[in-house]
Structure 1
Amino acid sequence: MSDNKTIFLCAICNIESGTCNEDCKFCTQSVKYKADIERYKQKEIAQIVEEAKKARANHANGFCLVTAGKGLTEKRLKFVCEAARAVKKENLGLVLIACNGTATVEQLETLKEAGIDAYNHNLETARDFYPTICTTHTWDERYETCKNVKQVGLRLICGGIFGMGETQEQRVSMLESIASLEPMNVPLNFFHPNEALPLVENTINREQAFELITLARKMIPNARKIMVAGGRELMFGDEEYKIFEKGANAFVIGNYLTTQGKTPKDDIEALEKLGFSITREFGNK
């Protein structure tokens, strides 16, 4: 078990929103479901840099550049690299993370050269359940990208989503697959329903969610961070900070990709009141 009084924070920057042609049933970024979200091709570089500065001011250790879409196109790769260089130029002390879908070894090497430190690509669920939630690409493509990340020497961040109708055996299977990749960080998301999506409800309760955090820590003991990400506020409500008693030592601060989070100020004040220490170091594993 990690030192659960030392907490790591990560911020997300949605630099290309709602333009994805895939059919992932859990995701409002898909154009197929016409969810009522903000959609744009490319966020202004100046705005990305400003968000990075705010993230660091709010004690974030990591800053993640996220794009909608299956994977990296030539145009998207160029844009992410431009954003990465602009943020790195500010010397903010942030670990810069890219989350841009499937990627080849060559594309990942280009990101690394541009200043990206880590790559986030989630397996989302178990291999045998994946066709239930997505038909436009395969789980194997996701796993291959994660292996590519390791091959080029980027730090791997890999997690998934709970509450999409999967069985407990499939949750365990996903965690086993994640463990096999030896990621640095493991983000755990809890499905956030939206009326536009084919999936209409989260199929786990709060107690099960707490147990899954503990299970993830047990099954992936070498991960530096077990991070609670999307769905934290909705799933855990007034018990959200109990996640640290269960094995988590990190969470996403601020807003998520298409849903609102708590204000960073509220989270920071609550953590400090409860006696937690927010580290400004990210680690080099």
Structure 2
Amino acid sequence: MTKKIFLCAISNINSGTCNEDCKFCSQSVKYKADIERYIQKPIETIIEEAKAARASGALGFCLVTARKGLDDKVLRFVCDVARSVSSAVPDLRLIACNGTASVEQLLTLKEAGVKAYNHNLETSEAFYPEVCTTHSWQERYETCQNVNKAGLKLITGGIFGMGETQEDRISMLESLKSLNPVSVPLNFYHHNPALPLKPNPLTTDEALELITMAREIISDAERIMVAGGREMQFGDRQNEIFAAGANSIVIGNYLTTQGRDKKSDLEMIKELGLDIATKV
């Protein structure tokens, strides 16, 4: 049976306003990275992005805010966006990615049409204090548990190449497995010169092996997604990620970095004899 590739697009609906000190994230105000910053992207713009994503074959559309978590104001905005996008592009699966969240907040998102929630563990519990001190890894894990309690589909993954050990990588994957996610986004650290975290790049072969390891450890997940850093990490070997175990990618741009043009990704999938998923 031909492997079907699930495409997902993301929209940074609130950019560069986070007060946390995550050393891997250019959206922290602490590091003054040269990125676009805004409180609320116009809903009309988000709808146009959603339409373009669906036209390119994306089934998932993720609404991302750059904050530690949800408060009443941000929750209202995300719900307004979700209802508007659902009305304009009803066949997109809406995903929210808004940081730490309570069960009550997640149920409110669910009522607004959100189907899944993305909150990454980022790395192992042991290594996390090396990359963030303003909140704990346990808070992230508890939010993922809240997603399951709220009856939303859980999307959770992490970042490779931040200086973690192989033991840290395995520990993170085991933690992800314990949460029973439907999708696991694997990101590869893309350095911004403003960030204090020093690049610790993986070889392409090492990165491909990590995709395979994720598929083996989190075998019940419907999707292993290669997300941020794909173009930089794999270069002209991006076509190998599917043989390694991935069956999902982010199409288009990321939060603060450019992705590959959509046409190239669609051509790559076609040339490999793979099909784009047309239903969740």
What TM-score do you get using the length of structure 1 for normalisation? 0.97
Question: Equivalences for 1:91-170 in 2 at 5 Å?
Answer: 91-170=89-168
CA apart distance, 1:10: 0.2
Among candidates 44, 47, 54, match of residue 45 of structure 2: 47
Task: Please tell me whether the aligned partners of residues 43 and 81 of structure 2 are also in contact (alpha carbons under 8 angstroms).
Answer: yes
Task: Please tell me whether the aligned partners of residues 215 and 224 of structure 2 are also in contact (alpha carbons under 8 angstroms).
Answer: yes
Task: Please tell me whether the aligned partners of residues 56 and 92 of structure 1 are also in contact (alpha carbons under 8 angstroms).
Answer: no
In 1, Cα distance between equivalents of 2:261 and 2:251: 8
Note the alpha carbon deviations across 1:176-234, whole angstroms, 9 max, x for none.
00000000000000000111111121332211110000000000001000000000000
In 2, Cα distance between equivalents of 1:29 and 1:198: 13
1:64 alignment partner AA: C
- Residue 10 of structure 1 corresponds to which residue in structure 2? 8
Q: Does 1:22 align with 2:8?
A: no
CA apart distance, 1:6: 1.4
For residue 7 of structure 2, give the secondary structure of its aligned residue in structure 1: strand
1:79 alignment partner AA: F
Among candidates 239, 242, 245, match of residue 244 of structure 1: 242
Q: Does 1:202 align with 2:170?
A: no
Aligned pair count reads 280
Q: 1:99 to 1:240 in 2, by over 3 A?
A: same
1:270 alignment partner AA: M
**Structure 1 stretches of 5 or more lacking a match?**
none
Runs of 4+ that moved beyond 4 A: none
1:265 alignment partner AA: K
CA apart distance, 1:91: 4.1
Question: Equivalences for 1:133-282 in 2 at 5 Å?
Answer: 133-282=131-280
Note the alpha carbon deviations across 1:213-264, whole angstroms, 9 max, x for none.
0000000001000000000000000001100000000000000000000111
Question: Equivalences for 1:21-100 in 2 at 5 Å?
Answer: 21-100=19-98
2:254 alignment partner AA: Y
For residue 161 of structure 1, give the secondary structure of its aligned residue in structure 2: strand
CA apart distance, 1:266: 1.5
Task: Please tell me whether the aligned partners of residues 102 and 145 of structure 1 are also in contact (alpha carbons under 8 angstroms).
Answer: yes
In 2, Cα distance between equivalents of 1:45 and 1:221: 37
Task: Please tell me whether the aligned partners of residues 25 and 197 of structure 1 are also in contact (alpha carbons under 8 angstroms).
Answer: yes
In 1, Cα distance between equivalents of 2:77 and 2:271: 40
**Structure 2 stretches of 5 or more lacking a match?**
none
Q: Which range moved further: 200-209 or 220-229? A: 200-209
In 1, Cα distance between equivalents of 2:171 and 2:177: 10
Task: Please tell me whether the aligned partners of residues 119 and 143 of structure 2 are also in contact (alpha carbons under 8 angstroms).
Answer: yes
CA RMSD of aligned residues (A): 0.9
1:124 alignment partner AA: E
Task: Please tell me whether the aligned partners of residues 19 and 30 of structure 1 are also in contact (alpha carbons under 8 angstroms).
Answer: yes
Q: Which range moved further: 63-72 or 262-271? A: 262-271
What TM-score do you get using the length of structure 2 for normalisation? 0.98
For residue 32 of structure 1, give the secondary structure of its aligned residue in structure 2: helix
For residue 14 of structure 1, give the secondary structure of its aligned residue in structure 2: strand
CA apart distance, 1:5: 2.7
Q: Which range moved further: 84-93 or 149-158? A: 84-93
1:258 alignment partner AA: T
Task: Please tell me whether the aligned partners of residues 188 and 229 of structure 2 are also in contact (alpha carbons under 8 angstroms).
Answer: yes
2:6 alignment partner AA: F
Task: Please tell me whether the aligned partners of residues 157 and 187 of structure 1 are also in contact (alpha carbons under 8 angstroms).
Answer: yes
